[in-house]
Every structure is written in structure tokens, then in C-alpha cells.
Amino acid sequence: MATACDSPSTGFESLLRQDEEKDLLRLSTAGSVDDGKSTLIGRLLYDSKGAYEDQIASARKASVNQTAGPLDFALLTDGLRSEREQGITIDVAYRYFSTPKRKFIIADTPGHEQYTRNMATGASTADLAIILVDARSGVLPQSRRHLYIATLLGIRHIVVTVNKMDLVDYSEEVFEQVRLDFLGFAGQLIIGELKFIPISALQGDNVVKPGTRMPWYSGPSLLDYLETVSVSRDRAFEHMRFPVQYVIRPNLDFRGFAGQLASGSVRPGDPVMVLPSGRTSRVKSIATYDGDLAVALPPMSVTLCLEDEVDVSRGDMLVPPQHPPHVARRFEAMLVWMNQKPLDAGRPYLLKHSTQQAGAQVAAVRYRVNINTLEHESVERLGFNEIGAVVVETKRPLYFDAYDENRLTGAFILIDPLTNETLAAGMIKGGIAGETQRSEEWLAVEFSTSRVTPAERYVRAGHRPFAIWLVGGEDLAYGLERKLFDRGCLVHVLRGEDAAGVAQAFTDAGLISICRVAGDDRRARDSVERAVGSDRFVVVNAATLPEDPEPAADEICRSLEQRGYIRPQPKPFTGGAGI
């Protein structure tokens, strides 16, 4: 069998190893045919190849024949037949190029037709946006639209390339004017970094190499900037979110939950909570084809195995018990409407969010955004290529973060259940005051045939149900009961023979039971743990606590709070897309 048999190491081999280690930058471009966008992209695609040739040549200490004759760069990016006939791009096209420093994916979107739908699509996966402005015409309404959509879709790095500088005599004044006009508008939006570069795509000034004709500009060329800009801080949402895609169960000994880590990191031993059931366990291992991992980082696709046999299926999400996402069936979102048929409030739609689908409807349209002026307009519904703020209701609770904080757990699409078309893209701003709950309050799984779900019991009680195995004196047991009761918990100290049966009944009923024992009888403890489930069972030994029951009970409460069993002081909801 032929495999990649390596020849002895040469200058090229180490260069190759280095090249395999480079990272990836996804960007979107927007501009119209007249802005020279195709010429710019064509030049990036073509000239970047020269970088490899130079590098190889210097590694080999040889010269290469550079054949950069006069080329119509726009032809390199020309697309489908129907477009060629019309001479315009009508859909998002993906382009690829590499330099020895980075690989780039460009989502190239058209400037005119259906710009909203296409720009939103291209921007959804991009970390950086290039907005092209023709130096002769300055900032146009479409430049402002591009900027708004890029920021709405969560892009934090915007590069405004002021193109065709050759046609304005490479004038610094013209460039400055465009910059000031742009800044005036951009002030209303949330942007991480806004960069201006004067270029001539046709002549090549400041695209790949710095131009000599604009001595007044001392910044980097466009490619220099793209090669060095850091985007890793943009997605710094630190809490683990692991939407489960698929359960891998090849035999009785292996049960793993496959998915792509959306945020945070995960290590063996980490405590996790399963949404929506609220059951908890620990990560036993991170299984991959290349061996078990000590840590997984986003966006790795891995398979997690848990310590306990908890029920997990596709659509569930694994999260840290201390830092769960929001859970709600009603939330506010920004919606980009992408279908000829307008949004119909009250019509049943299908909503896809992370790895789950749920029936949904739009309960209200709050306003439409005029994307030229950013003004909010009062409307009944949204039409094709319109953007607005809406209230969405789902049949099942979603577990989400605000899109501003976490793109992957804050985004959704709406699908027409009849035609199967994708109708809209949504970005969750946040829950609605008073209606959002932290996820520990929403346990939707039904464990029995009871018509009352654990979730509802949970909402009523205001805390998770569990049993405390308390090895210690009566003073401590009743002191703890008093403290929990004062915090609003439903709690009772158990005495007598059948602790296991009673604790199980109490736990199923949504209550907290304290099993007070003088000595730690291992068999009795195991039977209670089995009865209530290990994620609803807490062992406390008074020997490890202060002797005085008062501070001892306080310490137990603190620990329960930290482990997510009882609610900490309520936190106000702070999410919101802010645009």
C-alpha cells in the first residue's frame, strides 16, 4: 500500500512542517462590481502564490521564474454561467488562499442584489470583514449597510479598504475624508477594531506589498494586516458548551457523546451537567481516533465519556454545573428574513438551534431596523431581506447564551415546515425579563408517568431535589434544616429505619431530605445513594466542619451553593445583542 513515504529531510521538509502548523482566518468581503472587489480578491489569490515561490526559492537558494504578466484578475473569481451572462455575482462564493503564515477563507458576497441575505450568510462564519469603498465616490449607503450587517453578525474586526487610490492621484486628503465619514457612522455600532487602508487593487498598491506611491501612509499592506491580526480573543466565552450531536455506542463497553466543543475547554474529571435533564456527572475521558486527550479546546470535534450512566441524547447540551446557559421558551432575537414570503407572526415554524430542533413561532415583531439610518421602525411583519427585533416562542425550552457572548449557542435558523426552505437567521439577544430562568430551574425530562414534571417541581421549589447524608449531631441537622428553610428551601430531617425509601420519595417530590446518622454505615449510605441517584446525593461529615453547628451549617450551605444544588443570590440577566 502506497503511503506518504518521506524522503530525507531537506530545506523544504522543515518548511512544509512549518506550513502545516499555520492557523486559519475566515473573512468576508463586500462591495459592488464597481468597487473593484473581484480585482482585489483576484490579486490576493494570485499574488499570494508568489509568496510560496519566493519562500521555496530562498530555501533552495535558487531563483524561480515569476510569470506575473498582465492578467484580468477578475476572471479568476468569475462564477456561474448565469452570472457570467449578467456580469454580476448573485450569491456567496467561497475563495481560498494561503500564505506561509496563514490560510484564508473568503466569503465573497455581492454588493447589490440580495445583499442582506448574502452578506449575513457570508458574515456568519467570518471573524473579519473587508469593506470596499471606491475612493472617488466615498462612503455610500451600501458601505454603511455592509458595516451594520457585519457588526450584527458579530464580526469584531473591520477593514475598510479605500480602493482606486490611483484614480484620485493617491491623495491623502481623499483618504482622510473617507475615513472621517466612515467613523461618523461607525460610532453608533459596536466594533472591536476598525482599520483603514488605502489601496489600488489594479496597480497592486498596499494589497500584498506596501505601495511606494503613498508615502504618507505608514501602516501595513492589506495582506500584512490579514496575516498578523489576532482574532482568538474575540471568541473568549470561557464556559464550556458541548452540544451533543450523536451517541456512539459500538459495544456494551463504550458509550460516548460525540460533538464539537462550542466554547470553553474540557478535561477528564471536570463536573458536567446534562441539559435538559439536569443530571450531573464527571468527564471520564475524551476519546478520539488519535488517542485519549488531556484537554479539548474549541472547535475540536471529540467524543466525551462520562463517569456515570446518565441519560444523554442528541440535542442535549453538556455544561459546567456552576455556569449553565440561559433556559427559556420565550426570548428576544434579531432576525434577518431571507425568503420571498414575509414573516407571518403566529405561523408554525421549525427552529434549529445548536443540535436541536423545536417547533417555534414569532410572537411579536418589536421593530424593523432601517439599515441605511439604523432607525427603528414600527411594523407588523418583516419582508424579504429585512432585519428586525422579534420575540420568539418555542415549544421546548432552548438552552442558549446571548449571541454577543457566544455565536454558536446564540444563533438559530427558522425553517418552513411545509416547503423545507430556510427562512431566516436569528441571533438571540437574551431572555425576556422575568421569563428567563437559569437552566437548573428547567428540567424537562419526565422521570415517571406523573403529569407533574421534575421541571415544574423545580420551578415551584426553587431548588434541585437531593438528599444529604449527614454524619453528625442533631444540633447540626436541625440547624441546617432551619437555615435551608429560611432560604426558601423545602427540607425535612429524616429519622427512622427506611431512610432510602423515604429519601427517594422526598427527592422525587422535589424536596431536600437530611438523613442524619450518628455513624457512617457504608451499606445504609449506599442504599440511600442508589435510591436517589448519585447526582442527587451529598455526603457531609461533621468531623470536617467547625464544631459550632452555626458556622458548620453556613459552610454546608456555601458548598451546596457552589456545587449548584441550591440557588446563589439571584443574578440579574445581563445578556443582550446591544445593536
Partner 1 sequence: MDQPTLTHLRVLEAESIFIMREVVAEFQRPVMLYSIGKDSSVMVRLAQKAFYPGKIPFPLLHIDTTYKFREMIEFRDRFTQEIGARLIVHINQKAIDQGANPFRLGTQKCCGLLKTRSLLDALAEGGYDAAFGGARRDEEKSRAKERVYSFRDSFGQWDPKNQRPELWNLFNSRVDKGESIRVFPLSNWTELDVWQYIHLENIPIVPMYFAKMRQMVVRGDTLIPVEQDIPLLPGEKPEMVMCRMRSLGCSPCTGAIHSEADTVPKIIEEMMLVRRSERENRVIDHDQEGSMEIKKREGYF
**Rounded Cα distance, 99 and 54, in Å:** 11
Q: How near is the Cβ of 219 to partner 1 at its closest, in Å?
A: 24
Q: Which is nearer to partner 1, 188 or 260 (CB)?
A: 260
Q: How near is the Cβ of 316 to partner 1 at its closest, in Å?
A: 12
Q: Report which secondary-structure segment, H or E, holds 398.
A: strand 387-400
Q: How near is the Cβ of 303 to partner 1 at its closest, in Å?
A: 7
Site string for partner 1, 310-349 (x = CB under 8 A): ----x-----------------------x-----------
Q: How near is the Cβ of 404 to partner 1 at its closest, in Å?
A: 15
Peptide linkage before 268 cis (omega within 30 of 0) = no
Among 188, 245, 534, 559, binds partner 1 (CB under 8 A): 245
Q: Which three cell numbers stand for residue 516?
A: 442524619
Among 167, 258, 293, 364, binds partner 1 (CB under 8 A): 258
**Rounded Cα distance, 110 and 90, in Å:** 6
Q: How near is the Cβ of 292 to partner 1 at its closest, in Å?
A: 11
Cα–Cα distance list, 27 to 109, 225, 235, 409, 573 (Å): 11, 12, 15, 21, 32
**Rounded Cα distance, 345 and 265, in Å:** 39
For 287, phi and psi rounded to 5 degrees?
-90, 135
What does the longest C-alpha to C-alpha distance in the chain come to?
A: 94
For 13, phi and psi rounded to 5 degrees?
-60, -45
**Rounded Cα distance, 238 and 226, in Å:** 25
Specify the stretch interacting with partner 1 by CB under 8 A; choose among 135-143, 291-299, 457-465, 557-565: 291-299
**Rounded Cα distance, 425 and 337, in Å:** 7
Q: Which is nearer to partner 1, 408 or 553 (CB)?
A: 408
Q: Which is nearer to partner 1, 11 or 184 (CB)?
A: 11
What is the CB neighbour count within 10 angstroms for residue 208?
18
297 lines the binding site for partner 1 (CB under 8 A): yes
Among 219, 220, 271, 298, binds partner 1 (CB under 8 A): 298
Q: Which is nearer to partner 1, 556 or 577 (CB)?
A: 577
Q: How near is the Cβ of 573 to partner 1 at its closest, in Å?
A: 23
**Rounded Cα distance, 132 and 523, in Å:** 73
299 lines the binding site for partner 1 (CB under 8 A): yes
For 232, phi and psi rounded to 5 degrees?
-70, -25
Site string for partner 1, 20-39 (x = CB under 8 A): xxxxx---------------
Peptide linkage before 299 cis (omega within 30 of 0) = yes
Specify the stretch interacting with partner 1 by CB under 8 A; choose among 213-221, 238-246, 382-390, 540-548: 238-246
What residues between 42 and 101 interact with partner 1 by CB under 8 A?
Answer: 46, 49, 52-53, 56, 64, 67, 77-82, 84, 90-96, 98
Q: How near is the Cβ of 171 to partner 1 at its closest, in Å?
A: 34
**Number of residues binding to partner 1, judged by CB under 8 A:** 91
Among 412, 442, 469, 506, binds partner 1 (CB under 8 A): 412
What is the CB neighbour count within 10 angstroms for residue 416?
16
- Under DSSP, the state recorded for 319 is E
254 lines the binding site for partner 1 (CB under 8 A): yes
Specify the stretch interacting with partner 1 by CB under 8 A; choose among 292-300, 368-376, 385-393, 526-534: 292-300
What is the CB neighbour count within 10 angstroms for residue 559?
14
What residues between 115 and 154 interact with partner 1 by CB under 8 A?
Answer: 117-118, 120-121, 124-125
Among 187, 236, 451, 496, binds partner 1 (CB under 8 A): 236
Q: How near is the Cβ of 338 to partner 1 at its closest, in Å?
A: 5
**Rounded Cα distance, 517 and 469, in Å:** 8
Among 31, 42, 198, 259, binds partner 1 (CB under 8 A): 259
- Bridge-based pairing of strands 356-369 and 128-134 is unpaired
Q: How near is the Cβ of 157 to partner 1 at its closest, in Å?
A: 15
Q: At what angle do helices 549-562 and 474-486 cross, to 10 degrees?
A: 50
Specify the stretch interacting with partner 1 by CB under 8 A; choose among 171-179, 341-349, 391-399, 404-412: 404-412
Specify the stretch interacting with partner 1 by CB under 8 A; choose among 166-174, 254-262, 387-395, 461-469: 254-262
Q: Which three cell numbers stand for residue 450?
A: 406523573
6 lines the binding site for partner 1 (CB under 8 A): yes
What residues between 261 and 290 interact with partner 1 by CB under 8 A?
Answer: 265, 287-290
Q: Which is nearer to partner 1, 23 or 309 (CB)?
A: 23
Q: How near is the Cβ of 100 to partner 1 at its closest, in Å?
A: 9
What residues between 215 and 234 interact with partner 1 by CB under 8 A?
Answer: 232-233
Q: Are 565 and 538 in contact (CB under 8 A)?
A: yes
Specify the stretch interacting with partner 1 by CB under 8 A; choose among 8-16, 192-200, 462-470, 532-540: 8-16
Q: Which three cell numbers stand for residue 99?
A: 500564505
Q: How near is the Cβ of 248 to partner 1 at its closest, in Å?
A: 5
Q: Collect all residues with Cβ–Cβ distance below 8 Å to 252 and sequence separation of at least 6.
A: none
The single-letter code of the amino acid at 208 is V
Alpha-helix residue ranges (DSSP H) falling in 312-367: none
Site string for partner 1, 416-445 (x = CB under 8 A): -x--xxx--x--------------------
Beta strands of 171-235 (E only): which ranges? Answer: 193-198
Q: Are 514 and 480 in contact (CB under 8 A)?
A: yes
Q: Which is nearer to partner 1, 276 or 479 (CB)?
A: 276
Reduced to 3 states, what is the DSSP secondary structure of residue 425?
strand
Query: Quick one: how far is CA 381 from the chain centroid?
Result: 28
- Under DSSP, the state recorded for 509 is T
Among 129, 328, 343, 411, binds partner 1 (CB under 8 A): 411
